[in-house]
A and B are shown apart, each in its own frame.
Chain A
Amino acid sequence: MAQAQQVLNVLPPTPDLESYRDVWVFIEILKGNMLSYCLEGIAAARKIASKVNMGVGALVASDVVSEEVVKTLIEYGADYVVAVEHPYLADYEPFAYTRALEEVVRERKPWALIFMADELGRDLAPRLAYRLVTGLATDNIDYDVEDFYHGLLKEKYTNILAQIRPDFATRIAKIYTPRHRPQIASLRPGSFKPLPRDPSRKGEVYRYKPSLSNYQRKIRVLGYEVIEDRGAELLEAKLIVSLGLGILRDAEGNPKNPLEAVELAKKIIDLVRNKLGVKAAMGASRALIHADVKELSGIITHDIQVGQTGKTVSPKVYIAAGISGAIQHRVGILRAGNIVSINIDPKAPIHEIAHYVIIEDLYKALPKLYEALLRKIEGGGG
């Protein structure tokens, strides 16, 4: 009796819960260009789909979705493509997109729907999730499929998507949407590697024309400006040298001109770029960016922030100079192959997750590292 009462007093579940199947990934097209990191979403969807024996669908919205885009998505691991086409979808606008996706989701009923956690996904997914009355887990870095016991309802749900995200309090939290479909999630770019392209893969395309009935156009897109986003460079880099608050002072605590540290980092980056032909970039911690240091304006900017509220990076080598390593920063570099920590404080948390530890003033350590790299590269190359 008490339990029945309780069930009545919660958000009603999605009707027809069991009929939802397949894992979909929303593929972003901006000004006619598909964003390549959406292929990481297909890789994530494949991981999930393999555990629940479902298919992977790539969901694309635009005025027209080209055959080339369809082919690319299939070859990178989608089983089929759902192409939502309408003149109102030529430019991204959240309400038209929400309405169009709502229609196709209600008709085709995907079990899970993954967005990329960028400015588009974070704008669109929340509104769609609210409209569909389902959960949204943001900023995921990994997925699993698990059984879940719902404490409030005292019910067990089998084969539920575990949406893994960094969390302030518990380090990493798993979010479940047990009673609602689709299970909507947003995936941090850089958390998965795209699958290798397989030109022999074949798949179907379903072209869907949304009705957008009663759609009131309340947003007009007036135009675009291209911005220099060094963040994209960061996501592709094999070597990243990141700077933190530690660059503001030397080992004795005296103020330093932080541009010196920037120059030292650039020397290493340029060396690796020019002599090894490897992509390399500079990153920064949230603390340094938010310190609003005058000398660093235009150099240490928001777009190169690494960490929970910035970018998740996956270089082969990540060098953290003067970064203490707060949990929010650490979750952004979990996928780095090798972490080199440079911090004069032996107790700095960054050392705990580093593969290589340098407990020394970064103004001494960076030049030594540069010289050593130069010696090895020139010695090895000669």
Chain B
Amino acid sequence: MDIVLNPYDRKTIEAADYMRRRVGGKLIALSMGPHPKIIPIMNELFDAEISGIDDAYIMSDKRMAGSDTWATSYTLSKGISKILSIHREAIEALAKAVDTGEPIERVEALAADLYRRNLLPNKIYSDKPSIRETLINMLSEGKISREEASKILWEEANKIYRDFMIFAGMKASDGETGNVGPQVAEALSQELGFTIPHVSFVLDFEYIGERNSIVARRKLVNLIQVVEVEIPAVLTIHVEYSAPPIPLSGRRWSLLNSYRGKNRDIKIYNADDIKADPRFIGLAGSPTVVGPGVDISRPYVRKVVGSSLIAAKDIDKVSYGDKTYGPYKKGDLLDSLPEEVKRGLMSKGLAKIFDYDDLAEEIINALRG
């Protein structure tokens, strides 16, 4: 399963979609925020012909408002934990039905329902005509025993917590920099009780089947670092990410591991649904507080080429009427002087319009200074 945390980031979706097509599974978009705003975005992602998502979950709760990246990552990790448990419980329910000797029709009906809800992969149950060798088919045709089917199902249930990847973008849409990838990796490690590594700024990656790992090339200051990372892992995708071509071999395998796909029933969870500690979410759960904004504009002396008036040479004090102006150094801006003073200085050759040569001189002085 691939879970995408910033579904609005095209490159992130592209990377997750590559993984889905390479190894199967499905692509889940997970987001946090007011659901009326996010649902239309999710629907667009369902509609996308390439890289479309298969499932969408939104963590939406007034109590989550004002979250900084710490609280956001905590909330998302609780959401991911919930999503994983839903998938595990689905396979467990089927395994239990097999174990307790439910009639085969009941087992098939349960599998069909779970499959329709996008919770079982094709290899367990499928309605695709090209896939006949599903576990449930083989069970109903007597090709495998209940014991064998049960064993496979429990193995599949255990794999849920082992075979997933999380993809995050470098920057969220609100401008917060890419803290969420690494922080979700840490939050989820604590939530699940084992270390989930993260790799940020990933330029490209490849799946290594023999070791169920990822080899990624990642930007690291003035280098590209090549790392091999165990699955499950969190990858944060660089804006310059590019996906390699999908190898032809293994496509059947990928299909068997895939799901029905495109379940447009968007799930919306509040803090209680994901069992989030109310002290760790929203403003209350945020160690950082944003203070009032500050204006960054500063006063400048601004010279406009072709219109500003500057001193053509050093000027001593000049008197006009009862007022005295100056002294000025060559190049000083005279735009704020009264019109008649400007005209007077111009006529004496003491002032001139700022031109390219004056600009060039000031640039050279600045570079030499």
Interface residues, chain A, CB within 8 Å of chain B? 8-12, 28, 30-31, 35, 91-95, 98, 117-120, 122-127, 129-131, 133-139, 148, 150-152, 162, 164, 167-180, 216, 218-227, 229, 232, 238-239, 272, 276, 278, 302, 308-309, 316-317, 330-331, 334, 337-338, 340, 351-360, 365, 368-369, 371-373, 375-377, 380
Contact = CB atoms under 8 A, between A and B. Distances in A.
B226 A135 contact: no
19 contacts: A11-B71, A94-B199, A117-B177, A118-B221, A123-B182, A123-B200, A129-B179, A131-B186, A133-B287, A135-B286, A136-B69, A162-B291, A172-B293, A173-B293, A174-B294, A176-B288, A225-B224, A354-B300, A360-B305
Given A135-B287, A169-B293, A119 B183 contact: no
Contacts of B355: 372
B291 to A, nearest CB: 4
**Chain B: interface secondary structure?**
mixed
Contact of B291 (A10, A175, A224): A175
Interface stretch (B43-51, B127-135, B145-153, B358-366): B358-366
Contacts of A353: 297-298, 300
Contacts of A135: 68, 70, 286-288
B183 A129 contact: yes
A359 B303 CA distance: 11
B174 A357 contact: no
Given A119-B200, A372-B360, 7 more contacts: A9-B279, A93-B227, A123-B200, A127-B182, A152-B284, A176-B288, A338-B362
Contacts of B368: 276, 278
Contacts, number: 274
Contact of B222 (A30, A354, A358): A30
B288 A219 contact: no
A240 to B, nearest CB: 11
Interface in B321-369: 355-357, 359-364, 366-369
Contacts of A177: 287-289
Contact of B363 (A93, A138, A229, A373): A373
A357 B305 contact: yes
Interface string B288-328: 11111111111011111110000000000000000000000
A199 B139 CA distance: 79
B367 A222 contact: no
Contacts of B295: 171-172
B225 A122 contact: no
Report the contact-size class of chain B (Cβ under 8 Å from the partner).
35 or more
B246 interface: no
Contacts of B109: none
B363 A317 contact: yes
Given A118-B221, A356-B305, A218 B229 contact: yes
Interface string B198-222: 1111000000000000010111111
B207 to A, nearest CB: 15
The listed residue with most B CB atoms (<10 A of its CB), out of A11, A135, A276, A369, is: A11
B186 A122 contact: no
Nearest to A301: B240
Nearest to B285: A11
B230 interface: yes
B221 A35 contact: yes
A219 B228 contact: yes
Interface string B172-204: 001111111111011100000011111111000
Contact of B183 (A126, A164, A239, A372): A126
A333 to B, nearest CB: 11
B77 to A, nearest CB: 10
B293 A120 contact: no
A127 B366 contact: no
Contacts of B198: 94-95, 123, 127
Contacts of A172: 293-296
B294 A309 contact: no
A272 B365 CA distance: 12
B195 to A, nearest CB: 5
B304 A357 contact: yes
